[in-house]
Structure 1
Amino acid sequence: MADTGATFRALHVRGAPFILANVWDAGSARLMAGLGAKALATSSAAHAFTLGRVDTEVTRDEALAHAESIVAATPLPVQGDFEDGFGPGPETCAETVRLAAEAGLAGICIEDVSPAAEAYGFEAAVERIRAAASAARALPRDFVLTARADGVMHGIYDLNEAIRRLQAFEAAGADVLYAPVLPSMEAAARLIGSVTAPVNLLVTRFEERSLAEFGEIGAARVSLGSALSRAVQKVMLEAGRGMFGAGRFESLLAPGVGGEVDAILKAF
């Protein structure tokens, strides 16, 4: 088996970001790979939607099985969106790392906010990342651990606290740092400048910015989160409302799309 962890790690260069494409099934994985993605990631929210659920309602076993299907779809490195590591304890986070590696993932991200939208205490959050990083370093192959400070996104703590946590996560052994849904590019630049490890930025709130602009402030990676799946859901909502509301079908017009997509899928 190729060391996808090493391949994934090498993609992370401050100031030269790549797009981490969050996908939800083999078809979306192969389509993004065929269009030029260098690495893929699962999305907990997108995965939950495929099960008819909402984010945080997926079990670890389900997330692992889902991740395996994405890994098998293409040769690209895949990161798992594994929420808070599926448990509050440091050893649970470490076990999740080991299981993720067994599933073939190149890395995972672990959040510092529980499914109940409560931030873990500072010391507890750091210990969780330290345990996960230790487990990652003990693996027989490379594995990229991304530590997330999600409090800004949830309105639990401010940018200063996010920076404090990410600095501590870096010291605890995290390979990549990530605070989603930042208020501005200026805030993102300040966060990136406060650490030395590669930083992931989420495209949400920055959809009108270019990849080059993310590079200018030093980002190493730009992820989509659930944005791509939400864009697909938007089309489904508009088409459904047109059909079942007004009895109209114009939203389904997609000339040539089937042939283009089929051609990409046939390349695998």
Structure 2
Amino acid sequence: MTKFESFAALHVPGKPLILFNVWDAGSAKVAERAGAKAIATGSASVATAHGVDDAEGLPIVLALANAERIVAAVELPVTIDFEGGYATDEEALAGNMAALVATGAVGCNFEDQVIGGEGMHAVAVQAGRVAAARRGAGPDFFLNARTDIFLQAKPDTHDQAKADAAIERAHAYAEAGASGFFVPGLADLDLLAKVCAASPLPVNFMAFPGAPSAEAVAAAGVARISHGPFPHMLALKAFEDAARTAFAE
């Protein structure tokens, strides 16, 4: 079984793959040592570690170099948070995906928000982008299509209409060649269960402080749980606390 196949096989609804997101080769080795089944980066964590802003503030050459170092550091399959693919043009996007595959990564997150702008790409436009990403990445790469519907709306506005809009995108992205469907920001278990039941793709939930438990979201049908920027934030907080103690001595 290839790393592509073994990684895809880890996505089981009701028994989700747990990804504790890393930011560099060192944190990837720690996650592997701690018992990870796969390694995933978080774009915000990688950007912060490089001293730049998220939303593709990190130059693509550095993003690719960081991915290559992480892949070389561990034996596990590695998926990269590749944001919007660093391109709007479909041919450029396909080329960037091919470059990501060349690092040895087996998958990536690919989001539908407009990087550097407002809102999200229209469904048809993003489906075309997913198709271009698939052309560049090849048939086996795990293309985790992310929708920002729930991140861009306050939790108290999350309703059936937004869930229906997400389900529409899940079907469009699946038809375009996506492998998974990521719904960060959605924490309403009833809506999450509806999305999981209707999605043709395995659904990825993002854990955060105060979110429903892994057991609860697994019961909703989630196949993958990632932790986004929060592991890096936790590490930085521990570092800062220790530094303040040292400086106060």
TM-score in terms of structure 2 length: 0.89
Contact 1:148 1:166 in 2 (8 A): no
Q: 1:73 to 1:90 in 2, by over 3 A?
A: same
Q: Displacement of 1:241 after TM fit? A: 4.8
Contact 2:114 2:121 in 1 (8 A): yes
Contact 1:22 1:43 in 2 (8 A): yes
Corresponding residue pairs, total: 241
Q: Displacement of 1:155 after TM fit? A: 2.6
**Which residue identity does 2:142 align to in structure 1?**
V
Q: 1:231 to 1:90 in 2, by over 3 A?
A: same
Instruction: Specify the alignment match of 1:62 in structure 2.
Output: 62
Instruction: Specify the alignment match of 1:84 in structure 2.
Output: 84
**Which residue identity does 1:187 align to in structure 2?**
L
Instruction: Specify the alignment match of 2:224 in structure 1.
Output: 221
Q: Displacement of 1:6 after TM fit? A: 1.5
| Structure 1: tracts of 5 or more residues without a match | 249-268
Instruction: Specify the alignment match of 1:9 in structure 2.
Output: 8
2:178 aligned with 1:178, yes or no? Answer: no
Give, in whole Å, the separation in 2 of the partners of 1:208 and 1:152.
Answer: 15
Q: Displacement of 1:101 after TM fit? A: 1.0
Give, in whole Å, the separation in 1 of the partners of 2:13 and 2:135.
Answer: 24
**Which residue identity does 1:153 align to in structure 2?**
L
Q: Displacement of 1:220 after TM fit? A: 0.8
Give, in whole Å, the separation in 1 of the partners of 2:187 and 2:238.
Answer: 27
CA RMSD of aligned residues (A): 2.1
Q: 1:155 to 1:124 in 2, by over 3 A?
A: same
Instruction: Specify the alignment match of 2:28 in structure 1.
Output: 29
Give, in whole Å, the separation in 1 of the partners of 2:166 and 2:243.
Answer: 40
Q: Displacement of 1:61 after TM fit? A: 1.4
DSSP-derived class of the 1:196 partner: coil
**Which residue identity does 1:178 align to in structure 2?**
F
Instruction: Specify the alignment match of 2:105 in structure 1.
Output: 105
2:117 aligned with 1:95, yes or no? Answer: no
Pick aligned residue for 2:141 from 140, 143, 146? 143
**Which residue identity does 1:148 align to in structure 2?**
R
TM-score in terms of structure 1 length: 0.83
Instruction: Specify the alignment match of 1:52 in structure 2.
Output: 51
**Which residue identity does 2:98 align to in structure 1?**
R
DSSP-derived class of the 2:85 partner: coil
| Structure 2: tracts of 5 or more residues without a match | none
Q: What is the aligned-residue identity percentage?
A: 34
Higher Cα Rg: structure 1 or 2? Answer: 1
Pick aligned residue for 1:235 from 233, 238, 241? 238
Q: Displacement of 1:114 after TM fit? A: 2.4
**Which residue identity does 2:24 align to in structure 1?**
D
Q: 1:243 to 1:159 in 2, by over 3 A?
A: farther
DSSP-derived class of the 2:225 partner: strand
Q: 1:194 to 1:144 in 2, by over 3 A?
A: same
Instruction: Specify the alignment match of 2:126 in structure 1.
Output: 125
**Which residue identity does 1:215 align to in structure 2?**
A
